[in-house]
Structures are given as C-alpha cells and as structure tokens.
Amino acid sequence: MITVRAMQVKDAEQVSELERAIFSQPWSYQGFVDSLSLPNTVFLVAEENNKILGYIGMYLSIDEGEITNVAVAPEMRCRGIGGMLLAEAKKEAESRSVGKIVLEVRCSNDSAIRLYERNGFVNHGVRKEFYELPKEDAYIMIYGQ
C-alpha cells in the first residue's frame, strides 16, 4: 500500500537519486537535507515497501505556499501518486493557515499541467525563459486565493 508521510533526512538519498533521474537541473542531496531543517517547509514522500515512489516540496511564507518540487518515478506514473502528494501538501498548507499555493511548470509538460488542473490549480500566466537546460517558459499555476 502506498503511503504519504513527512520526508526525513534518511530519505534524502533516495529522493535525490529520483530527482537526478527526472530533472535536467536536479536538487542535490544536501539541498534536500538543508531544506528539511528549515521551519517553514513541507516535504512529503510517497512510499511503498520502503521505496520512495515520489515526493513534493513546498516553502511556506505567511499565507502563501510555493511548491518547489513534485516528482513521481517514471514507472509509477498514472497511478494517482502525484494527486496523493498534492492533496497531502494542500492539507498541510491549510493546517498552517496557508490559503494560496503557487507553482511553476514547463509549458511543454502536459501531463503535469493536467495533474495540477485536476487538483484545482489554475493557469495565471507565463514566466518567460524561466527554465534552463533546455530554456523554456513556465506557466504560473495557483491553487486557492
């Protein structure tokens, strides 16, 4: 059974390996470890049989959250894991009186855009040349007000 729980330092190695496998500009192991020590962060993992299948990261600032990372292992996609991670992150934000969550997504990442839309995020504009490797625009998507 897949469970979603708070990320711990012991998870950082598996998470950083997944990050490197998916993203052209991955966070480092130390980047995850450092973020976990900050007070206004939410990092969650989806896990089954001690294997991390996906993760989400979010920084909180007053009444707004910014999702920094969302990833699901390629072989585990289309199984609802991304939706589970987003739902838990939204619950955590709401429990801390955060009503608005913002994220950026590559304009070409149709599957991620559909995931975010299914989970209540709305496209609010474009950040030109936001991403590197390859250079690409990002949609700004917002959940809540």
In a domain, 139, yes or no: no
In a domain, 109, yes or no: no
In a domain, 54, yes or no: yes
Domain count within the chain = 1
pLDDT tens digits for range 3-21: 999 999 999 999 999 999 9
Q: What pLDDT does residue 84 have?
A: 98
C-alpha–C-alpha distance, residues 86 and 68, integer Å = 12
Active-site amino acid positions: 104, 116
In a domain, 97, yes or no: yes
pTM: 0.93
pLDDT-based confidence at residue 24 (cuts at 50, 70, 90): confident
pLDDT tens digits for range 101-132: 999 999 999 999 999 999 999 999 999 999 98
In a domain, 137, yes or no: no
Q: What pLDDT does residue 61 have?
A: 93
Q: What is the 3-state secondary structure (H, E, C) of the chain?
A: CCEEEECCHHHHHHHHHHHHHHCCCCCCHHHHHHHHCCCCEEEEEEEECCEEEEEEEEEEECCEEEEEEEEECHHHCCCCHHHHHHHHHHHHHHHCCCCEEEEEEECCCHHHHHHHHHCCCEEEEEEEEEECCCCEEEEEEEEEC
Distant-in-sequence contacts of 69-76, Cβ < 8 A, 24+ apart: 69/19, 69/27, 70/103, 70/112, 71/18, 71/19, 71/22, 71/23, 72/46, 73/18, 73/21, 74/21, 74/22
In a domain, 121, yes or no: no
Range of the domain at 12: 3-103
pLDDT at 145 over 90: no
What CATH number corresponds to the domain at position 97?
3.40.630.30
pLDDT tens digits for range 43-101: 999 999 999 999 999 999 989 999 999 999 999 999 999 999 999 999 999 999 999 99
In a domain, 133, yes or no: no
pLDDT tens digits for range 125-135: 999 999 988 89
In a domain, 45, yes or no: yes
